[in-house]
Structure 1
Amino acid sequence: MADPAPHPPFTAEHDAIRAGMREFITAELRPHADAWEEAKYFPDELFGTVGAAGYFGLKFEPDWGGSAPSFGEGTLRAALWALELARCGSAGVAAGLGAHSEIAAPPIWKFGTDEQKRRWLEPAIRGDLRCALGITEPGAGSDVAGMRTRAERVDGGWLVNGEKTFITNGVRFDAMVTALRTGEGDRHAGISFLVIEKGDGVQTSALEKLGWHASDTGTVALQDVFVPEDHLLGAENQGFALIMANFQWERLQMSLGAVGGMEAVLEQTIEFARTRQIGGKPMVAQQAIRHKLAEAEITLNASRAMTFDTLGRFAAGQDVLREVTMAKLQTQRAAVDVADVCLQLHGGYGTLEEDGPGLARALRDARLGPIGGGTDEIMAEILGRTL
């Protein structure tokens, strides 16, 4: 049987690139996923391994150590990486690596000066410096404009006080791109981006979560932290617009990860249903099983079509606020539903943690999707307002 045609906006060349990524993940990440999940941490050295392989620089120009020949092509290659990371066996590992290169580094790339890019972006692409994005606070999750962490002007820079929470890479980061208040005015004014490096006054603590166990999601307390003047990203008091711009790619990344995750668990479950015998016949001989698989395949394909269409528009430079909001809303709940169906079809084996097929982990990990990066309720509100 001939290989299926690539899904637009991807080409046969992209399929070859994706195959190389899968080989790397199969060799370097997948064999260690169980141990990293059990340890609830993956080694810092993995950043260097991924950086050396070139997978942190897919979206960035060669000027900064990346490999993107253009914005559009770099975006598509970074999207392939997100799809394949979902097969590494641990959404926590995927979240930690993805947050570093695809959520925290892009604001430095888009809004930083050349000097700032040399200082933080170049080592981030190499994997020598670990990055986090600090937006969420204990009293301001989806309500970004309600943040209270504040930076007061002092000689040579700012003095920062406040707290961030649910920060991916929030324990291990070297540099955190941090949204905080630097001015007065209405809720959406007076917000800036500062790059805060680990040091005096920065205290971190890990959070225990339902899923993403290998990801060091943490709370970051900031007490009288001095941040130099040249750590400001973009224009002072214009940070809210920068946050909103960054959300489009973050939410698209989550949509791609959900599609990749659904592909992986559904392929696994179809193979299980072909080989598992019930009453002397394979599971797929039963109509009820085939129908469950068919429904899951429809859910996957609807999610993939919506996400890939949005990706193509984004790579072409279009504003995809509505499209990416719909894709994020559709894919995150869909990933939970597909993982649940796949676990159900595995029966008792699907619930096993040790020596199991990984469906229990997949379901736990997927459940964080409708919350992270903007809850389902916020996505529905954003979409409703655009209508």
Structure 2
Amino acid sequence: MPASPASCTPSTDPSCGNPEPVNTSIYDTPEHELLRDQVARFLAREVEPHAAAWEEQGFVPREMLRRMGAAGLLGLMFEPEYGGGGADALMNLVFAEALSQSTFGGFIITVLVHTDMAGPHLHHAGSAAQKDRYLRQVTAGEKICAVAITEPGAGSDVAGIRTNAKRHGDHWVLNGTKMFITNGVHADLYFVAAKTGPGKREVSMFIVEKGTPGFSVGRALKKTGWLSSDTAELVFDNVRIPAGHLLGEEGKGFYSVMKNFQTERIALAAMAVGHCQQALKLTLDYVRQRQAFGGPLWDQQAIRQRLSMLDAKTRAARTFMYHCAWRVTQGHDIVQDVSMLKALTGELVNEVLQSCQQFHGGMGYIRETAVERLWRDARVLAIGGGATEVMLEEVAKRY
């Protein structure tokens, strides 16, 4: 949102103060722009006309993920032989940010859990047999994924989980409870973290299919935001799974989770930045039209300066986000960078949405408005995927 020249008056010049495009970065390629255009067309055609109804029903229809799979929009990072795009971290970030131009956070997180938070466990740690059995269906959107790590007493502290798995002959037996699991009700494949030894970090990952005896959805959880994302408590009561459903090496699951956290947190940062971009656009349009005190709200210096500063912060965060993804492509250790990014964007999106909602006045508190939905959906981005305080500790201990 560039500063308006002194001669520019929003109330008389419709072009005054229009934001410049922010869909470019120094890391961009023509392929990135093609992907952005493809996602934008998909959102306009398949998502935006229907997403309000999904908010009411509490989940995104399975058919929507199948359509995304058919369009080649799921599993961009996965190997081409399994239907993936073989893309790098930058291309994957472009997808996540483009998807986050939707104002329906529940839809966005449903997809990103499938592609960036659950699916990568199979992509990174799965055996050839496991990938051959499942990954093509994941990429096609025929099987929906969830990752089950968080528990009632352990969230960001992965080493504190209590769900356990014990080997009995050619099977593992899982017992425990998981909480706040996105896609928990409607998923087909669950990548489950469980303790497999006495050590604090002796955690392993397992593949559990829906319908396995002893595995159940304890309850669907009602949330403040992300209303079209189903979230569940999961119960594992003597769940017997074949030994071949161990995902990766026994006892190495903690490190697998930590590795996948970096992809997850970049995706969540993209979601936060997308929310900021959309909220600022909506609010700029609103304050230029809303008449108060003899003119548009944009004429109030405090409002236009506040929006300008929030836009500056959003652009800075976005540049840092792309830099983090670029560092992934260069093979750098990015734990500190991504922890900073997650903390920064989780707090920023709440700062942006609080001001944008405020500038909408009473309309900002009405359920029919996009800014109210973004405000509700933004809150969890400072909590889920690593709370701000936990992220800052990750940053501090690496100095």
How big is each residue's C-alpha offset from its partner over 1:102-121, in whole Å with a ceiling of 9 and x where there is no partner?
11111111111111111121
In the alignment, is the contact (CA less than 8 A) between 2:109 and 2:229 conserved in 1? yes
1:17 to 35, 39, 42: 35
2:382 partner SS = coil
How big is each residue's C-alpha offset from its partner over 1:110-140, in whole Å with a ceiling of 9 and x where there is no partner?
1111111111211000001011001011111
In the alignment, is the contact (CA less than 8 A) between 1:269 and 1:346 conserved in 2? yes
Structure 2 gaps, min length 5: 1-14
2:60 to 42, 51, 56: 42
Determine the C-alpha separation between the residues in 1 that align with 2:216 and 2:311.
Answer: 45
* More divergent stretch after superposition (249-258 vs 40-49): 40-49
1:67 partner SS = coil
How big is each residue's C-alpha offset from its partner over 1:246-280, in whole Å with a ceiling of 9 and x where there is no partner?
11111111011111111111111112222223345
Determine the C-alpha separation between the residues in 1 that align with 2:237 and 2:167.
Answer: 15
Determine the C-alpha separation between the residues in 1 that align with 2:272 and 2:22.
Answer: 21
Q: TM-score scaled to structure 2, two decimals?
A: 0.92
1:201 to 214, 218, 233: 214
Determine the C-alpha separation between the residues in 2 that align with 1:139 and 1:243.
Answer: 17
Q: Give RMSD over aligned pairs.
A: 1.6
How big is each residue's C-alpha offset from its partner over 1:21-64, in whole Å with a ceiling of 9 and x where there is no partner?
11111111111121111222221211111111111021122111
Asked whether 1:344 is paired with 2:344, we answer no
* More divergent stretch after superposition (327-336 vs 281-290): 281-290
Specify the code of the residue in structure 1 equivalent to 2:73.
Y
Change (3 A) 1:3 1:138: closer
1:211 to 196, 214, 225: 225
Instruction: Report the equivalent of 1:8.
Output: 26
Change (3 A) 1:116 1:364: same
Instruction: Report the equivalent of 1:51.
Output: 69
Determine the C-alpha separation between the residues in 2 that align with 1:241 and 1:102.
Answer: 17
Give 1:4 deviation, angstroms.
Answer: 6.9
Determine the C-alpha separation between the residues in 1 that align with 2:367 and 2:23.
Answer: 36
Specify the code of the residue in structure 2 equivalent to 1:298.
A
Specify the code of the residue in structure 2 equivalent to 1:149.
T
Determine the C-alpha separation between the residues in 2 that align with 1:166 and 1:173.
Answer: 14
Asked whether 1:192 is paired with 2:214, we answer no
- Structure 2 counterparts to residues 1-387 of structure 1, below 5 A: 6-68=24-86, 71-72=87-88, 75-184=89-198, 186-188=199-201, 190-199=202-211, 200-204=213-217, 205-354=219-368, 356=369, 358-387=370-399
1:165 partner SS = strand
Determine the C-alpha separation between the residues in 1 that align with 2:339 and 2:353.
Answer: 22
Determine the C-alpha separation between the residues in 2 that align with 1:105 and 1:226.
Answer: 22
In the alignment, is the contact (CA less than 8 A) between 1:153 and 1:159 conserved in 2? yes
Change (3 A) 1:365 1:341: same
Determine the C-alpha separation between the residues in 2 that align with 1:279 and 1:369.
Answer: 36
Q: How many residues align?
A: 379
Determine the C-alpha separation between the residues in 2 that align with 1:25 and 1:339.
Answer: 22
* More divergent stretch after superposition (14-23 vs 104-113): 14-23
Change (3 A) 1:4 1:375: closer
Specify the code of the residue in structure 2 equivalent to 1:203.
S
Structure 1 gaps, min length 5: none
Give 1:321 deviation, angstroms.
Answer: 0.4
How big is each residue's C-alpha offset from its partner over 1:122-172, in whole Å with a ceiling of 9 and x where there is no partner?
100000101100101111112110111111111211111111111111111
Instruction: Report the equivalent of 2:6.
Output: none
Specify the code of the residue in structure 2 equivalent to 1:370.
A
Determine the C-alpha separation between the residues in 2 that align with 1:54 and 1:348.
Answer: 41
2:373 partner SS = helix
In the alignment, is the contact (CA less than 8 A) between 2:35 and 2:95 conserved in 1? no
* More divergent stretch after superposition (77-86 vs 116-125): 77-86
Identity across the alignment (%) = 38
How big is each residue's C-alpha offset from its partner over 1:197-247, in whole Å with a ceiling of 9 and x where there is no partner?
112111112111111111111110000111101111111111111111111
Determine the C-alpha separation between the residues in 1 that align with 2:158 and 2:263.
Answer: 17
Specify the code of the residue in structure 2 equivalent to 1:57.
G
Change (3 A) 1:208 1:313: same
In the alignment, is the contact (CA less than 8 A) between 2:103 and 2:275 conserved in 1? no
Determine the C-alpha separation between the residues in 2 that align with 1:248 and 1:182.
Answer: 24
Determine the C-alpha separation between the residues in 2 that align with 1:240 and 1:5.
Answer: 36
